[in-house]
Amino acid sequence: MSFELCGVVGSVCTEPFKIAIDKAEFYYQQLYGLHTADLDGIVENDNIALTDGHQTELHGAIQEKDTIINEAKVTIAVAQVHLETAQHQKEEFELDLAESTKRWDSQVAELQAEIERLSVINPTHSRRS
């Protein structure tokens, strides 16, 4: 997954997202691996009682799964913070861009007015359309 924002903001903020996504994919693969390898192998038939060893293995697998889920939640929370930061930076960038555009438009208008004023004063050097 690729996440891009415009300008400098994009290059600053994409790396944390890539790291968070890689971690989330890793945790998902770990969780899926636990489910298929450990849990399915331990509980083959609902009607068969688990031995103490299998109960211990099942308990350990569940704890490991819970740990992986908690780590994934932390990774998601960190990614959310990065997303909010990136959104805030994007909004600031857009405001700065809008303000700069207004300033440039104003300066262009002033220069055009000055050109018109000078062309009235000296019509021989006026612009030709």
What is the chain's alpha carbon radius of gyration, rounded to the nearest angstrom?
31
Terminal-to-terminal C-alpha distance of the chain = 50
Q: Which of 65, 72, 63 is nearest to 26 (CA)?
A: 72
Contact 10, 4 (CB under 8 A): yes
Residue 15: per-residue pLDDT:
61
Q: Which of 77, 63, 104, 64 is nearest to 23 (CA)?
A: 77
- The Cβ of residue 62 has, within 10 Å, a number of other Cβ atoms equal to 13
Q: What is the DSSP letter of 125?
A: G
Q: Residue 12 pLDDT > 90, yes or no?
A: no
What is the spatial distance between Cα 91 and Cα 88, in angstroms, rounded to a whole number?
5
Residue 119: which pLDDT band, with cuts at 50, 70 and 90? confident
Residue 98: which pLDDT band, with cuts at 50, 70 and 90? very high
Residue pLDDT, tens place only, 70-87: 888 888 888 888 888 888
- Sign of the dihedral defined by the CA atoms of residues 5, 11, 16, 20, in that order: positive
